[in-house]
């Protein structure tokens, strides 16, 4: 039996799988029949899943296993695979930076989505729909404020902030808001603002992703 010294060994490309996986890959590369190579490669990916189970929680789990297998083979693996062989140059390449909007959020505890909803409400032409949008926005803002500050906020302040964020293009009668509790999550039932009215879909449409 010939001994294998550390100085004579090739470097392990992916240490999380160990040297034995690398030896198996080298052996599979010597098999002449492509169908047989592919079958062995598929079996090897099953073994790699068992060796490195932490990958199961990652995105594109299945593809990551095959990418690792191609990497171990030094991108010289001619097999039938469910995923294409990645480009060697892509290894270790940093992902492109995602551009973020530079617009500053006026009130961080309300977030950008509230500002988007206000922009949508401004564009609404029907006065009744626009008023319902203002009520919906007011409830959201009051709820967000209570979560952020663990305290109550006056309806007049909420309305003042809505006016500010909309450049005075959105408004509602504050006395009506207070009388019917329109900015509260649980409002008093009235003819116009009844519980049945709340069952309808809100004035905002979800944006398609």
Q: What is the pTM of this model?
A: 0.45
CA-nearest of 87, 10, 73 to 41 is 73
User: pLDDT in tens for each of the 209 residues of the chain?
Assistant: 444 545 556 788 888 898 999 999 999 999 999 999 999 999 999 999 998 887 776 778 889 999 999 999 999 989 999 988 888 776 656 556 666 555 677 888 888 889 999 999 999 999 999 999 999 999 999 888 888 777 788 999 999 999 999 999 999 999 999 999 999 975 444 444 444 344 445 666 555 54
Handedness of CA 137, 141, 143, 144 (dihedral sign): positive
Kindly list the domain boundaries of the chain, sorted by start residue: 11-90, 111-198
Phi-psi region of 34 (alpha: psi -120 to 50; beta: other; left: phi over 0): alpha
């Amino acid at each position: 039996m010939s001994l294998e010294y550390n100085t004579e060994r090739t470097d392990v490309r992916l240490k999380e799988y160990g040297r034995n996986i690398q030896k198996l890959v080298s052996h599979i590369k010597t098999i002449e029949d492509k169908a047989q190579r592919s079958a062995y490669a598929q079996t090897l990916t099953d073994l790699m899943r068992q060796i490195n189970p932490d990958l199961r929680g990652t995105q594109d789990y299945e593809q990551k296993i095959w990418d690792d297998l191609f990497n171990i083979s030094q991108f010289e693996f001619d097999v039938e695979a469910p995923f294409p062989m990645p480009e060697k140059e892509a290894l270790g390449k940093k992902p492109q930076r995602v551009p973020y909007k530079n617009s500053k959020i006026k009130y961080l505890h309300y977030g950008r989505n509230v500002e988007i909803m206000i922009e949508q409400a401004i564009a609404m032409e029907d006065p009744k729909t626009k008023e319902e949008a203002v009520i919906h926005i007011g409830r959201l803002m009051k709820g967000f404020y209570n979560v952020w500050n663990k305290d109550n906020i006056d309806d007049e302040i909420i309305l003042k902030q809505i006016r500010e964020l909309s450049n005075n293009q959105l408004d509602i009668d504050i006395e009506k808001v207070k009388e019917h509790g329109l900015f509260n999550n649980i409002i008093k039932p009235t003819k116009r603002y009844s519980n049945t009215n709340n069952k309808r879909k809100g004035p905002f449409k979800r944006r398609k992703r």
